[in-house]
A and B are shown apart, each in its own frame.
Chain A
């Protein structure tokens, strides 16, 4: 066999060999233990910090707002749907670590015209419905008809 063909074959064998060796190192340790995935990932995911707190927690300090909300159309919406996760806030309650959105677009996320939701949530056209002011100047977010 000519020298260059031999060298070529050796080169290929080396490349394939390197691939097989690399595989030994690069396949995660727990791969395939339960199925075609990394078994350790289950535990890793389970160990993530929980960011959303129990819905009753907020009412412990903000009982007035919780009570107000309970009487209105937003009663079924979790506080954290609008205010974001509360894990940091309940440990250290300051206004800085909780979201408070006041723009019209915010309410529009759920209420702006959208054929897919029309039957579930009352829809308005955010570009037409009382455009002079913010929604919260007329509707209290915790009790929109208050």
Chain B
């Protein structure tokens, strides 16, 4: 009966006409986290690849950080999905008996490809020389871990390292389309729901991808500053300025595409338009106009844009970069929120709304969501402890 009580409570929040199966939102905050976290992964990785493939020297200090951050978040990316299942312990069935017509089943393989073939390999090739060196220098658990990671080969002759570098490069090149695929695919999962006019758009994968890049770059910006703060190191302003520059450009492209999508909607004004404009001006006003557009896009855009023409003192710039980075991260979170939650708030009859009340506790509550945001940060701390980028000896000298 408890379930009924929830249902009937939700029923009281309904306005207008809606179908019975639309009263309760099925996709909760956990499903908001799924594209959010995957986006951070893809974005961070693309930044790292830019660095390597296009040899952008200024971004060098963030290369390993980006890869490790991508790995930390990737390891957690599927967790919100799995714990959203009624039977989380059955998740592996998706990989055992995948159905070719299921978008989600194929995602399992896209994910594995990206994790095993792209990210882990790229990190491995990048660090292999250090594994060998560190396995000889360190003691105890670390020594053991490094030994395992070397796969028992201590070959760090220039020839072997050159091969590593070459293979790493190939993987990066393969990795860029893979990262695009990974996150474009998440966008596709939403964009291909043809029954939902708020989701169904061919632009969706592209928008998801661009917003992923925005959030990933912001993540690295913030992570880089936080790491340097804890290590009491001076921040490389040239690097920070160039991350800021790339963040600025991607926000512009992302914002343009999203606006284009909305303008297209407004001009076409299909039969779903009335309900969608009510949605935007009503239930999504705070999360969309205030959090996503104003705080998450316009303010950072203004700050970063300003810095492209005029560069104030370092101290001011640092603070402003940190604030912009955090604002962008929050803004993109709400962008995912507006897509996932927003798409379920209105009835497919186009005549009514339901509402979403997020609980504090429980598997789909705020605390559970918080856990899935903290775990990747802990993993990242562990990875930075095990594979400190600042202790790497760069082959160039």
Contact = CB atoms under 8 A, between A and B. Distances in A.
Given A3-B153, A4-B153, A27-B97, A105 B16 contact: no
B25 interface: no
Nearest to A15: B116
Given A4-B160, A26-B96, A27-B97, A112 B11 contact: yes
Contact of B150 (A4, A84, A105): A4
Contacts of B160: 2, 4
B356 to A, nearest CB: 18
Contact of A105 (B8, B99, B163): B8
Interface string B188-231: 00000000000000000000000000000000000000000000
A51 interface: no
B97 A36 contact: yes
A23 B96 contact: yes
B116 A109 contact: no
Contacts of A109: 4, 8, 11
B183 interface: no
Interface of A is mostly: helix
Among A4, A26, A105: residue with most chain B CB under 10 A: A4
Interface residues of A, number: 26
A108 B352 contact: no
Contacts of A105: 8
Interface string A54-83: 000000000000000000000000000000
Contacts of B140: none
Contact of A31 (B97, B124, B151): B97
Contacts of A8: 121, 124, 151
Interface string B15-37: 11111100000000000000000
B395 interface: no
Contacts of B163: 2, 5
Interface string B226-263: 00000000000000000000000000000000000000
A105 B4 CA distance: 11
B8 A108 contact: yes
Contacts of A23: 96
A121 interface: no
A42 interface: no
B155 interface: yes
B128 interface: yes
Contacts of B11: 109, 112, 114
B151 A116 contact: no
B299 interface: no
B153 A116 contact: no
Contacts of B151: 4, 7-8, 11
B144 interface: no
Contacts of B351: 115
Interface string B133-170: 00000000000000000111101000110010001000
B12 interface: yes
Contacts of B152: 3, 7
A116 to B, nearest CB: 5
B92 interface: yes
B1 interface: yes
A115 B352 contact: yes
Given A4-B150, A26-B96, A31-B97, A99 B1 contact: yes
B355 to A, nearest CB: 14
Contacts of B97: 27, 31-32, 36
Nearest 7 A-B pairs (CB), nearest first? A4-B153, A7-B151, A3-B153, A115-B17, A26-B96, A116-B17, A2-B160
12 contacts: A2-B159, A4-B151, A4-B160, A7-B151, A7-B152, A7-B153, A8-B151, A15-B116, A22-B96, A31-B97, A109-B11, A115-B352
Given A23-B96, A32-B97, A115-B352, 7 more contacts: A2-B163, A4-B155, A5-B163, A11-B151, A26-B93, A114-B11, A115-B17
